[in-house]
């Protein structure tokens, strides 16, 4: 039996479990540091994330916050735990795509030729990454967001639902691109960008 331990008993975790079942895992258990959470969908939460090594399973980090996801992922790497790549069978992935461990590609997503996707990324439902893009580690491309060709995204950047990034754009690390934003110029300063065209805003 091929079993997966999922860290993060949330809605995102439910989607991860569904894709894992469709990717060859037979069953799932969940870990979560919030002791009030006992189940995730039809699955049992058996303890805190510190138990990951003791389960003896492959482990996937189903946490939306990139900083936390990175911290846990790097700890798992250090102790030699297998962190798989999960790809929904209805995603379209070019044969030459390179995908780092711990990344999930959800239903309806498209990744076109020549693209590289880093570790611990979320390529969410019906999003698209066109040709020759470079996606840094722990990036989240949200539902329905679209990257045109030859886009570079720095690590820990979040692209909001329905956002569009024009071709040949480079975005630095640790940015938040708001839902529905349209990025037509390079972004060289980390921060939050919203609107059409996208502009930086101050967050108090």
- Is 88 part of the annotated catalytic residue set? no
Catalytic residue among 88, 131, 140, 146: 131
CA 87 to mean position of chain CA atoms: 11
The b-or-e profile of 14-37 (16+ CB within 10 A means b, else e) is bbbbbbbeebebeebbbbbeeeee
Residues known to be catalytic: 131
């Amino acid at each position: 039996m091929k079993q997966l331990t999922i860290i993060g008993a949330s809605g995102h975790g439910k989607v991860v479990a569904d894709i894992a079942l469709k990717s060859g895992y037979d069953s799932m258990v969940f870990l979560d540091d919030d002791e009030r959470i006992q189940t995730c969908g039809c699955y049992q939460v058996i303890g805190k994330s510190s138990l990951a090594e003791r389960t003896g399973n492959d482990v996937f980090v189903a946490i939306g916050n990139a900083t936390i996801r990175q911290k846990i992922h790097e700890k798992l790497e250090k102790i030699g735990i297998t962190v798989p790549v999960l790809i929904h069978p209805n995603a379209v992935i070019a044969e030459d795509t390179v995908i780092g461990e711990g990344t999930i590609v959800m239903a309806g997503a498209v990744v076109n030729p020549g693209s590289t996707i880093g570790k611990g990324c979320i390529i969410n439902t019906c999003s698209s990454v066109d040709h020759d893009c470079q996606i840094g580690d722990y990036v989240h491309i949200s539902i329905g967001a679209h990257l045109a060709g030859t886009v570079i995204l720095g690590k820990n950047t979040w692209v909001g639902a329905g956002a569009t990034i024009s071709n040949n754009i480079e975005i630095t690390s640790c940015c938040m691109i708001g839902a529905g934003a349209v990025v037509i110029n390079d972004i060289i300063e980390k921060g939050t960008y919203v609107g059409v065209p996208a502009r930086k805003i101050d967050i108090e």
